[in-house]
Amino acid sequence: MAEAKRSATLTNILGTSEERSGKGHSVAGPGEQAFSIRADFRDGRRKRALAWSHFTDYQWKDHGDHEELEIIFGDRILTIKGHNLMVLGRQIDEGKLKSFEEELTARITQAQGHPPDNEALVTSVEIYPEFDELLKEIRGESDDKQQFARRVQR
């Protein structure tokens, strides 16, 4: 079935189907800034988001066989490994990166050796601390010695 005809304004906001397909990441539209960044994990069962209002700094490193992008959000660290990650870095610089996907193993294998120049290939995503650790801290269930105010001592 053919794609429905859109107005020029809607196409400008959403982009063409060619622009939307296969990028592995999404960006804010013209004149808007991303509110948060969302990581879609490879297993398809997890997503995690971090607010750009907590953004502090990022660092890009080229390790030869892969690249690494580390982004600091307050006391959290987002580590992305893959290829052509400066595509994401440019979107961070512009305040427009909204989401990205950890690629499936088959896609990574297919792109090995010649990933497209205009597309980031994310092979690994880590966010520290883990979400479960944050929940334990908030609930006062962690084994640390800090003892949160909402924890009742008996």
Is residue 113 in a domain? yes
Is residue 69 in a domain? yes
Taking Cα atoms as reference points, which of 130, 135, 128, 132 lies closest to residue 77?
A: 128
What residues contact residue 52 under an 8 Å CB cut-off, 6+ apart?
33, 34, 35, 36, 37, 73, 95
Is residue 131 in a domain? yes
pLDDT tens per residue across span 94-116? 888 999 998 876 666 666 666 66
Is residue 87 in a domain? yes
Q: Count of CB atoms within 10 A of residue 100's CB?
A: 26
pTM, two decimals, is 0.70
Q: How many domains does the chain have?
A: 1
How confident is the model at residue 3, as a pLDDT?
46
CA distance 88 to 118: 10
Is residue 149 in a domain? no
Q: Which residues span the domain enclosing 94?
A: 24-139
pLDDT tens per residue across span 8-65? 665 655 455 444 444 566 666 666 777 889 999 988 899 999 999 999 999 999 998 8
Is residue 134 in a domain? yes
How confident is the model at residue 137, as a pLDDT?
87
